[in-house]
Amino acid sequence: MKVAFAQLNYTIGDFEGNSDKIVSTIEKAKNNGADLVIFSELSVTGYYPHDLLEKKEFIQKAEETVLKIAGICNGIAAIVGAPRINESEHGKKLYNSAFFLSEGKIQSIHNKTLLPTYDIFDEYRHFEPNNEFCIVKHKGENIAITICEDLWDEQPSASEFGKDKLYQISPMEELIKFNPDFVVNISASPFSYNQEDWRKNVLISKAKKYKVPVLYINQVGAQTELIFDGGSVFISKTGEILKELKYFYEDFLIVDTKYIGGKQVQNPSGTIEKIHDALVMGIRDYFWKMNFKQATLGLSGGIDSAVTLVLAVRALGAENVRVLLMPSKYSSGHSLEDARQLAENLNVRYDVVNIQNAVDKFENELAPLFKGTSFGVTEENIQARVRGIFVMAISNKFGHILLNTTNKSESAVGYGTLYGDMNGGLAVIGDVYKMDVFKLSRFMNKDGEIIPENSIVKPPSAELRPDQKDTDSLPEYEDLDQILFNYLELNKSPQEIVEIGFNENVVTRVIRMVNMNEYKRFQAAPILRISSKAFGFGRKMPLVAKY
């Protein structure tokens, strides 16, 4: 059978836009001789609509859209994903379903069985799990339809104490009884640079175990924080990846399910390159899906704002980005020059504003109240917040969205000022550890210097008091990032991290900083997620706790 993979970028709740895309892709598939075209999980609504699923009119709109799409499925079949109402008296109100459409009608509906609720997933909030299984017959072949997690009932979840079987049943064990000719898996699986291979390996192992070809179609595109990388694959029954669709771009490909010939996969790209591409897509999608065009940020001459700016320019174009240079009396001589050089290298508009006059006014006004106290964090924060007002003024006046430049290491230990440098509509590198920010800068400079070398090699500093360096209050980033990765991504205990070989006092101090700063992250901008454990709604910590 000829099956078309439709790897598309959906906007949540945009029924018209999504259905236009789906309909035109069905027509394209038909014109190219496909028998069936497959779309990703919840393609009609976009994944994941969260509590929009609690609105009945949202569900009705989804149902109408599925019917409309079914209407044009003549001479070709399609599989689309959408929520539907659970008509039973018992159980949650909805199912997460795959609709098999052909001959102008919904021919069958297949509900998702395994509903993930870990990390960023929250499907059991809205959906009832399925426990009935059936197969689709199309053009004489048996098709087993599965939805995302249904196919991988084994999880690599560090938070499950080593346990990998989170579910009581395995849908594939049921479906294989119907002797499928191939398995379709419609999916919405987000990108995690540190779980890249795991996903493919699961798919390969399932193809081999059940001796059946697997057609895996994934969502592509960013949904606020979540970045779906695409990378849909066609896997032979011997577990070989025969075809692979693009990463981070929409793509379309027709395969013959009987095909067993040579491989045709994407050029493998490195982790840093993938992170780069993911973040560019993350910015781009945030803007176009919100109908925004332009961005701004504060450019300090340091590495974080430099890398964020390059990503923004690549996502939006230099003409859509403007930056503000806001040196203080504590800025190093080079900083302003490095920032200016970068803006010029990128051909981005920049303005310089003086923050000192405003800072002085605050300090003057507060002097009677602060009598007898000395310069400290309060005064540092005033500087950061004055900068925050300036960039937000540019944002408000000209409609440029402020991009936040905080990296993951800083965010983890609370090294940043609420309502100051933590401001922004989207945190671009908030899931990228400092050492990876450096790697990104090197990657950006690989074909010639864009980011001034000095921004990369100078010791990181917030420049909020004389000769300040990050290492005055933090461990070296090499150590800090490793400790954080073990604590956050791998969910290791302090004791286990010490056993790896880190100093106990340092580990204790770092973890204390992480725990103490939940309140800051609570109010932080949404963070583009590239790892298996980003700050944000995939990590829910109580603010008030003693632990």
List 2, 21, 30, 41, catalytic entry: 41
* Binding to a copy of itself, residues 299-338 (CB under 8 A): none
CB of 171 to a copy of itself, least distance (A): 14
Catalytic status, residue 134:
no
The answer to whether residue 353 forms part of the interface with a copy of itself (CB under 8 A) is yes
The answer to whether residue 160 forms part of the interface with a copy of itself (CB under 8 A) is yes
* Binding to a copy of itself, residues 273-302 (CB under 8 A): 285-286, 289-290
Of 51-59, 248-256, 262-270, 441-449, which segment contacts a copy of itself by CB under 8 A?
Answer: 51-59
CB of 16 to a copy of itself, least distance (A): 9
CB of 85 to a copy of itself, least distance (A): 7
Location of structure tokens 């100078």: 458
How many residues are there in the chain?
547
CB of 102 to a copy of itself, least distance (A): 29
* Of 20, 56, 209, 238, the one binding a copy of itself by CB under 8 A: 56
**Which run of H or E residues covers position 273?**
helix 271-289
Identity of the residue, 77 or 226, whose beta carbon is nearer to a copy of itself in the bound complex: 226
Q: Assess contact for 240 and 211: CB atoms under 8 A.
A: no
Identity of the residue, 51 or 344, whose beta carbon is nearer to a copy of itself in the bound complex: 51
Query: How many residues make contact with a copy of itself (CB under 8 A)?
Result: 94
* Of 68, 334, 465, 539, the one binding a copy of itself by CB under 8 A: 539
Beta-bridged to residue 187, according to DSSP, are 218
* Binding to a copy of itself, residues 356-375 (CB under 8 A): 357-358, 361-362, 364-366, 369-370, 373
**Which run of H or E residues covers position 101?**
strand 94-102
Q: How many CA atoms lie within 13 A of 460 on its CB side?
A: 22
Identity of the residue, 344 or 351, whose beta carbon is nearer to a copy of itself in the bound complex: 351
CB of 82 to a copy of itself, least distance (A): 14
Q: Assess contact for 181 and 143: CB atoms under 8 A.
A: yes
187 vs 112: CA distance, rounded Å? 11
Q: Assess contact for 429 and 279: CB atoms under 8 A.
A: yes
The answer to whether residue 49 forms part of the interface with a copy of itself (CB under 8 A) is yes
* Binding to a copy of itself, residues 418-457 (CB under 8 A): 418-419, 423, 425
* Of 28, 125, 137, 465, the one binding a copy of itself by CB under 8 A: 125
402 vs 396: CA distance, rounded Å? 9
Of 138-146, 205-213, 388-396, 431-439, which segment contacts a copy of itself by CB under 8 A?
Answer: 388-396
Going 534 to 537 to 540 to 544, the CA torsion angle's sign is positive
The answer to whether residue 24 forms part of the interface with a copy of itself (CB under 8 A) is no
Closest residue by Cα to residue 125 from 201, 195, 53: 53
Tally of CB atoms within 10 A around 197 = 9
* Of 20, 32, 55, 449, the one binding a copy of itself by CB under 8 A: 55
Q: Assess contact for 13 and 290: CB atoms under 8 A.
A: no
Beta-bridged to residue 143, according to DSSP, are 136, 182
Please provide the DSSP assignment of 321-334 as one string: EEEEE---TTS-HH
Q: In what order do the strands lie in the sheet with 136-138?
A: 136-138, 141-147, 182-187, 214-218, 233-235, 241-244
Which amino acid type is present at position 363? E
**Which run of H or E residues covers position 485?**
helix 477-488
The answer to whether residue 412 forms part of the interface with a copy of itself (CB under 8 A) is no
Please give the C-alpha separations between residue 505 and each of 255, 476, 485, in angstroms, as whole numbers. Answer: 57, 14, 17
* Binding to a copy of itself, residues 78-107 (CB under 8 A): 85, 89-93
* Of 120, 382, 432, 474, the one binding a copy of itself by CB under 8 A: 382
* Of 20, 50, 329, 471, the one binding a copy of itself by CB under 8 A: 50
H helix and E strand count, the chain: 16, 19
Of 45-53, 75-83, 102-110, 141-149, which segment contacts a copy of itself by CB under 8 A?
Answer: 45-53
Please give the C-alpha separations between residue 469 and each of 83, 126, 300, 465, 511, in angstroms, as whole numbers. Answer: 52, 48, 14, 9, 21
CB of 280 to a copy of itself, least distance (A): 16
Of 138-146, 265-273, 350-358, 406-414, which segment contacts a copy of itself by CB under 8 A?
Answer: 350-358
* Binding to a copy of itself, residues 140-159 (CB under 8 A): 159
The site map against a copy of itself for 187-226 (x = CB under 8 A) is: -----------------------------------xxx--
Please give the C-alpha separations between residue 489 and each of 428, 531, 534, in angstroms, as whole numbers. Answer: 19, 8, 8
* Binding to a copy of itself, residues 469-498 (CB under 8 A): 491, 493, 495
CB of 319 to a copy of itself, least distance (A): 17
The site map against a copy of itself for 507-526 (x = CB under 8 A) is: ------------x--xxxxx
Q: Are strands 426-427 and 401-404 parallel, antiparallel or unpaired?
A: parallel
Structure tokens belonging to residue 35: 């028998």
Q: Which residues are catalytic?
A: 41, 112, 148
